[in-house]
Amino acid sequence: MSKKKIIYTRQEMFEFNRAILMKRGVTIEEIATICYQQQSKYNDNVTMGLCIESVEKILSLRDIFHHVQLACEIDRLAEAHAFEGPIQDIILEDLGLFGIDETMGLDVSGLYGTIGQTNFGDIDVNKRGIVKTLNDLGKEDDKCHTFLDDIVGAIAAAASTRVAQVLNEDLAHEVEGIERFSIFDL
């Protein structure tokens, strides 16, 4: 029996994530835009480049890889009516009291600190950018974005937190005048 591949490099994981998100209708730029809109309210130094870099970095992490791949597959399987029993329509219809999608989102959004979960709550409630688009499209027959909207919102929230952490680190170094060490890069 041939050995199955289950371990991937960060580059491979990033590319798998970018591809599956694209297949489900989401680009890195759309996620980064939510991040930019959220953080630019608090800091004038936020750039779209830093937001994109943050989203890309997050998409290369193993835990996030597992979350993104699983979330996208659950939605696809629900669209294909591949689940059996009550959970099929609970997921397909995006029942309001079904919270496992939000649990996954909370898990991902806390990556760079607790504030990420507050950011995630804001994106989840106010349905910003691509999250609103996904939410609206998900209401169409046989379209399911139950897990995808939360994962996308959570990545934006985590990226937003990373941006804040990077800018704070820069600020601290400005004050201290100490050279940065690569092991402390976020």
Pick the closer one to Mg ion by CB: 49 or 99.
Answer: 99
What b/e string do you get for 109-139 counting C-beta neighbours within 10 Å, with b at 16 or more? bbbbeeebbebbbbbbeeebbbbebbbeebe
Question: Shortest approach of Mg ion to residue 132 CB, angstroms?
Answer: 12
| Closest residue to Mg ion, based on beta-carbon distance | 101
Q: How far is CA 49 from CA 34, 42, 103, in A?
A: 13, 17, 29
Pick the closer one to Mg ion by CB: 30 or 149.
Answer: 149
Question: Shortest approach of Mg ion to residue 118 CB, angstroms?
Answer: 18
Pick the closer one to Mg ion by CB: 30 or 150.
Answer: 150
> What is the contact surface with Mg ion in residues (CB under 5 A)?
101, 146, 149-150
Report the C-alpha gap between 86 and 74 in whole angstroms. Answer: 14
Question: Shortest approach of Mg ion to residue 135 CB, angstroms?
Answer: 8
Question: Shortest approach of Mg ion to residue 71 CB, angstroms?
Answer: 9
Pick the closer one to Mg ion by CB: 136 or 170.
Answer: 136
Phi-psi region of 81 (alpha: psi -120 to 50; beta: other; left: phi over 0): left
Query: What would the two tokens of residue 160 be?
Result: 């937003």
